[in-house]
Amino acid sequence: MAYAFHALIAFLASYVWESQRFDRKASSVSLFLLFVILLILPALQLEVGADYSSYLETAKGNHNISIYYQKGEYLYYTIFSIVKENLPAHSFFVIAYLINTALIVNALIKLKAQGYSAYIIVFLFLTTFGLYQNQMNIIRTYTAVFCFINAALCRSEDKNLKAIVFSLIGIISHQTYIFAIILLILPKKLLHILQQYPLRFYLFSFVATAFLATPYILGPLINSLFPFYNHYLSKEIFEPADIINIATKAYYIPLNLIFLYLLQKEPSPVPKNQRYFVGLWILTSGIYLGLLTAPVIFFRAWHYIAFFHLLPIYYILTDKRTRQLAPFVVIYVIAPFLIKVIGFPVGEYHYKTILGPICTFPWGEPQC
């Protein structure tokens, strides 16, 4: 319930921010308000996600923090070092989510400057693919993910030095950032070419993923590029993912097909300065097949590209030719979100706060 109410408030705040674009002072105030709204839930969480207790004990000094230094995750090594010596243990979450929220808001500022409707992006970000909720569990990964989004935005504007800065922060946040670097060094021209034949490359992405996800290819690839995941090779790496996890992502394929139809029409629904991101989406669209065969690895890759999979929905909502579909698309998007956060909240979708229960269902069990 808390997530649903929070999404509504954040959406309204982002709409106010969008509407105040010609009033600098009002825009700054509404942007700060949006920052606080996005920060407050993760910063005040209690036992949300499987890693909460581990992080809390580490912040108390009960776990060895040198492992983060050894892995090159110097940002979190520094945060843990500061907290365990000087601050209450829960301060770790406040500091970590201050960083994450600053990265989110900075990305929203850049997206707005590139012509995106910020309130639609916020709506999709909070309700689709669990982007906001997953950071409650895998904090370090999502610091790296949000760095990647910012780096990709800079890359799209040829601001390569800034992209490098965000990438350096991503590298010292989580070692999986190497996947993001592979995407960032792709030539922009290649990503633009993908959109000339979107359906062909969309289907090719599925074929390529099916090829990469075989034991004969993925094993050597992990050994050479992602050695820190070698320990997974001796486990059930090629066991299929839970069908629900796959279905919640494949659920959006019909919307992808509508967007592909739009991409083949003139005028294009995608402005020229936004085509870089659509190219990233086309290139990574086949990741669903990887979840079928090697979810341990592909779920980690999925977090990095999930944001770009919001874009087909965004363009369907904003293109004049499909605007009549907007109410149905909103319902299609929000229905699984409400099921996760109200109907059957589990894991990171079952929000609890250090402030105590903030809502109760009629049958008396707190499910916030």
H or E stretch at 85: helix 74-86
CB of 305 closer than 8 Å to CB of 186: no
Domain residue limits, the chain: 1-185+334-368, 186-318
Whole-number Å distance between alpha carbons of 23 and 28: 9
Whole-number Å distance between alpha carbons of 48 and 27: 32
Task: Look at phi and psi of residue 130 and say left if phi exceeds 0, alpha if psi is from -120 to 50, else beta.
Answer: left
Length of the chain: 368
Q: Output the pLDDT for position 216.
A: 67
Per-residue pLDDT of the chain (368 residues; tens, 9 = 90+): 789 999 999 999 999 999 987 788 888 999 999 999 999 999 999 988 788 999 999 999 888 999 999 999 999 999 999 999 889 999 999 999 999 999 999 999 999 999 999 999 999 999 998 899 999 989 999 999 999 999 999 999 999 999 999 999 999 999 889 889 999 999 988 888 888 889 899 989 888 887 776 666 777 777 776 666 666 555 555 565 566 666 777 788 899 999 999 998 888 899 988 999 999 999 998 886 676 666 667 778 889 999 999 999 999 999 999 989 999 999 999 999 999 999 988 888 999 998 876 543 433 344 44
One-letter amino acid for residue 132 of the chain: Y
In the numeric block, the tokens 């040829």 are attached to 158
Both structure tokens of 311: 């874009």
Q: Output the pLDDT for position 347.
A: 85
Whole-number Å distance between alpha carbons of 74 and 68: 7
Q: Output the pLDDT for position 293.
A: 63
Q: Which of 131, 164, 36 is nearest to 122 (CA)?
A: 131
For 231-251, b/e burial (b = at least 16 CB within 10 A) is ebeeeebbeebeeeebebbee
Both structure tokens of 336: 């699984």
Whole-number Å distance between alpha carbons of 167 and 180: 8
Q: Output the pLDDT for position 179.
A: 87
Q: Output the pLDDT for position 368.
A: 45
Residues paired with 140 in a beta bridge: none
Q: Output the pLDDT for position 36.
A: 97
Both structure tokens of 224: 């050479």
Per-residue model confidence as pLDDT tens digits over 213-241: 666 677 777 777 666 666 655 555 556 55
Q: Output the pLDDT for position 33.
A: 96
Whole-number Cα distances in Å, 47 to 92, 137, 350: 14, 9, 9
